Amino acid sequence: MPAVFERKADEFVDTMNDLLNELSGRNDHRGECTIEAANLVSAVIDADGRHTDQELDTWVETLGRKLTPPMILTPSQLRDDNTLGGSAQWLTKPSTMFDLLVKADARDLKRRANAYYTYALSVAHATAAIDLVPSTAEINAIDRFRTTMLHLMDKYGVPRPGQPNAPGTAQTSVGSIPAEAPQVELPPERSIEELLAELDALIGLDHVKAEVRRLTSLLRVQELRASANLPVIETSKHLVFTGNPGTGKTTVARLLSQIFRTLGVVSKGHLVETDRSGLVAGFVGQTATTTKQVMESALGGTLLIDEAYALARGGENDFGLEAVDTIVKFMEDHRDDLSVVAAGYPAEMIELIDTNPGLKSRFTRTVEFPDYDTEELVAIFGLISSKKEYHLDESGAEALRVVIESEPRGRGFGNARFTRNVFEAAIGYHALRLADVVAPTVEQLTTLIASDILGG
């Protein structure tokens, strides 16, 4: 790992030095850039408070020796002096260097801060990869560091990495829009930052986004260790998604599969959706064949099994259990090129996982998708309607809030699907309202008012 780590640190120092030279007109900022790298690495090491011998040795050999004056101490000396103690705070706010780059980008419309972001995260992940098992605290600290940088870019109107447009259009996607079926020719592979930018742009789902980012970081760390021929701990790609319909499970599964592809975890990155009806046949012996065919179609990508708990609902003689057994075996035989996401209601998904020891050992990560609140559903309505070139006037927006809040939020609440249904009904009432208007204006043709939403 020291060779890989040193290369990542050198790339950061070299790139930042070039950017600062460009800004200042001077020839060398290498000293400041080395200090910046040392601060970053110290902060990640300190995030879990462990300060292992391997972490401290790596810090000294790759960065400490390059400081002025050099800091060449043994791990014991560094711990005795608590040299890195408290360094984790450095990750909680933008550094002076990053702040300088962001403000310069805002002034002359360049993307230097994007370069800092990319290389700094590369160093942070390489730091977490020094130990065999990166701690949860380190992964969480890296995620907070990422968020801190993105918020400063947003504040000054600097486009985020992976986003071609200005950050004023952050909420541009919604989980209610179904993912397209896999194509024969997959689209070009996208960068991690482009995929994470699309994830960040989803309305709501803050906890879900954080879980996906943490899993992505963990896989990046393991990838760095593998590239250095170091031992790695296998990280499961199989997940349980729980929550009501219309909460974005399909959209997140699609993005996750593409993230897996970019990281080299799967080969294609497509999403195949199915449920009990697509896996279970009506005769003895057919279910295994049918299930295997569906699993094979998902190889290289992600299989999303909606309402997966239904596979265990028919009792001991039901063919659903045969499907479960086939899924477990296929997951084991193709563990390197397949991700399976089982989705459904929380309690029922626990029952399903308990039906087969193989499921329990493979589905070790559960992500809960909460219901959207009223304002998030209003925003989703706005996204759906804008794509069809409609918009709400003030009375329409208020009526929409009334309709949303009057809908029971119990089990099975449709969330974004419910909102889409409200929109489609509003379009029908809007058409009836304008039926007798001889020459409606563009404004009339595109504006939804309260009566359209309320249906009268």
**Out of 115-119, 278-282, 318-322, which region has the weakest mean confidence (pLDDT)?**
318-322
CB atoms under 10 Å from CB of 341, counted, come to: 26
Degrees to nearest 5, angle at CA 342 with 339 and 348: 160
pLDDT at res. 1 = 58
Strand partners, 272: 303
Query: What pLDDT shows up at residue 165?
Result: 60
Instruction: Please give the average per-residue pLDDT across 104-132, as a whole number.
Output: 93
List the one residue out of 250, 245, 291, 241 whose CA is nearest residue 271. Answer: 250
Q: What is the mean pLDDT of residues 110-138?
A: 93
Q: How does pLDDT run across 265-280, given as a tens digit for each residue?
A: 999 999 999 999 899 8
User: Are the CB atoms for 9 and 124 separated by under 8 Å?
Assistant: no
- Note the pLDDT tens digit of each residue in 336-379: 899 999 999 988 998 889 888 888 888 989 999 999 999 999 99
Measured CA to CA, the distance from residue 281 to residue 303 in angstroms comes to 18
The pLDDT confidence band at residue 177, using thresholds 50, 70 and 90, is very low
Q: What is the DSSP letter of 250?
A: H
Confidence of residue 171 (pLDDT cuts 50, 70, 90): very low
The residues with which 241 forms a beta bridge, in sequence order, are: 343, 367
3-state helix, strand, coil in the chain (%, to 5): 60, 5, 35
- In order, the DSSP letters of 369-411 are EPPP-HHHHHHHHHHHHHHTT-EE-HHHHHHHHHHHHHS--ST
d(CA 333, CA 67): 50
Lowest-pLDDT range of 89-98, 101-110, 354-363, 389-398: 354-363
- Bridge pairing between strands 271-274 and 239-243: unpaired
With 90 as the cut, is the pLDDT of residue 385 above it?
yes
What is the separation, in whole angstroms, between the first and last Cα of the chain?
68
Q: Would you mind telling me the total number of residues written for the chain in this entry?
A: 456
What domains appear along the chain, each with residue ranges and CATH number? 2-166 (no CATH), 236-369 (3.40.50.300), 374-454 (1.10.8.60)
Q: Where are the alpha helices (DSSP H) in 355-373?
A: 357-362
186-195, 227-236, 393-402: which has the highest mean pLDDT?
393-402
Report the DSSP pairing between strands 302-305 and 339-344: parallel
